[in-house]
């Protein structure tokens, strides 16, 4: 029996059919993907607005009187642990900035116009002020924050370097709106370390902290400046080890890490001691032990010790 394969014409026909099917299905697939992104975005916005509600319930000074409006920022919600540090918009694939504002307006029982950026809870309307961020004249309307006595870099951020285990001094700052009104008492300070919000700066170990200063003016426009605190430690720990020690051939209880003889100290207040080499108790001879002291920043100091077994 002869077996015949596909002819070139038949293969081309199959390919054409596949192309037609893909072309017909493509818009539906894109529609499903876009719909999924929009659903994710709406859920994300709802999470932000509900976090703002939770924050205002715990901090009742942010609940305004009738017909008044107050403002909080993403930075405050993150610092309170209500939101994760990095929030990416699933549609634009861009991160929401920490100075994005959520307004809280007391509208009582009044009807609230529906918007995907707003959510009414009780008497209060919570709105993610995304439109204000997108306005062309946003830069002009933004309030300003100045860290007094510090120089900013080209990105309008401030960088300070301090040695480990030294005191950290909070910067003096001043904030004003576009009309020169003093907003200094409205500045909110949040501290980030290793992608998490923290309450204080720990100078006992090397690392980088980001201190965010955020302020919102009476119109709901926000500004934020960041101060990077770089804690450095390039000082090696001090290791104290006897250069030579003689022990009895029968002294199997000898401790190579006896704290009365082997010690280390460091400017961080912490250091660990390890060693390489071994002693063959019961066998006379000289043995070289190498000690290593290591501080939390990774700085090390080594020292040798000759142990004579006789």
The neighbouring-strand residues paired with 239 are 264
What does the pLDDT read at residue 238?
93
pLDDT score of 156 more than 80: no
Domains of the chain and CATH, by start: 10-133 (no CATH), 138-232 (2.60.40.10), 238-309 (2.60.40.10)
Q: How confident is the model at residue 211 (pLDDT cuts 50, 70, 90)?
A: very high
List the structure tokens of 159. 């960088």
250 φ, ψ (degrees, to nearest 5)? -100, 5
Q: How many CB atoms lie within 10 A of CB 276?
A: 10
The neighbouring-strand residues paired with 209 are 193, 229
What does the pLDDT read at residue 275?
95
What does the pLDDT read at residue 285?
93
What b-and-e string marks burial along 135-150, b requiring 16 or more CB atoms within 10 Å of the CB? eeeeeeebbebbbeee
What does the pLDDT read at residue 134?
60
DSSP alpha helix (H) spans, the chain: 8-58, 74-79, 130-134, 138-141
What does the pLDDT read at residue 24?
75
Q: How confident is the model at residue 2 (pLDDT cuts 50, 70, 90)?
A: low
Between CA 80 and CA 198 the distance in angstroms is 9
pLDDT score of 3 more than 60: no
Beta strands in the chain (DSSP E): 69-73, 101-106, 118-121, 124-128, 144-148, 158-163, 172-176, 188-193, 196-198, 207-216, 222-232, 238-240, 244-247, 263-265, 272-276, 285-294, 300-309
Between CA 171 and CA 181 the distance in angstroms is 21
What does the pLDDT read at residue 288?
95
Of the listed ranges 89-93, 232-236, 284-288, the least confidently predicted one is 89-93
Query: 268-281: per-residue pLDDT in tens?
Result: 788 899 999 989 88
Between CA 71 and CA 55 the distance in angstroms is 11
What does the pLDDT read at residue 290?
95
Looking only at the bridges linking them, the beta strands covering 263-265 and 238-240 are antiparallel
Residue 147 in contact with residue 169, Cβ under 8 Å? no
pLDDT mean over 183-197? 89
Q: How confident is the model at residue 5 (pLDDT cuts 50, 70, 90)?
A: low
SS (H, E, C) 107-133: CCCCCCCCCCCEEEECCEEEEECHHHH
């Amino acid at each position: 029996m002869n077996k015949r394969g596909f002819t070139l014409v038949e293969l081309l026909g199959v390919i054409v059919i596949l192309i037609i099917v893909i072309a017909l299905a493509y818009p539906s697939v894109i529609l499903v993907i876009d719909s999924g992104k929009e659903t994710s975005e709406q859920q994300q916005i709802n999470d932000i607005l509900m976090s703002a509600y939770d924050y205002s319930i715990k901090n009742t000074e942010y609940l305004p009187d009738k017909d008044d409006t107050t403002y909080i920022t993403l930075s405050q919600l993150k610092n309170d642990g209500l939101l994760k540090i990095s929030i990416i918009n699933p549609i634009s694939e861009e991160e929401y900035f920490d100075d994005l504002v959520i307004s809280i307006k007391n509208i009582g029982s009044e009807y609230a116009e529906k918007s995907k950026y707003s959510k009414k809870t009780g008497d209060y309307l919570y709105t993610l002020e995304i439109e204000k961020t997108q306005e062309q004249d946003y830069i002009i309307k933004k309030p300003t924050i100045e860290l007094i006595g510090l120089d900013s870099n080209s990105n309008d951020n401030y960088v300070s370097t301090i040695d480990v285990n030294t005191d950290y001094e909070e910067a003096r700052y001043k904030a004003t709106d576009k009309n020169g009104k003093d907003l200094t008492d409205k500045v909110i300070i949040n501290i980030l370390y290793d992608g998490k919000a923290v309450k204080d700066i720990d100078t006992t170990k090397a690392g980088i902290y980001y201190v965010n200063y955020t302020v919102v003016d009476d119109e709901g426009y926000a500004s934020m400046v960041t101060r990077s605190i770089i804690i450095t430690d390039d000082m090696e720990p001090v290791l104290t080890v006897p250069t030579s020690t003689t022990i009895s051939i029968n002294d199997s209880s000898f401790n190579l890490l006896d704290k009365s003889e082997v010690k280390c100290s460091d400017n961080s207040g912490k250091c660990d001691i390890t060693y390489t080499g071994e002693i063959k108790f019961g066998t006379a001879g000289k043995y070289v032990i190498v000690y290593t002291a290591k501080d939390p920043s990774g700085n090390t100091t080594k020292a040798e010790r000759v142990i004579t077994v006789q």
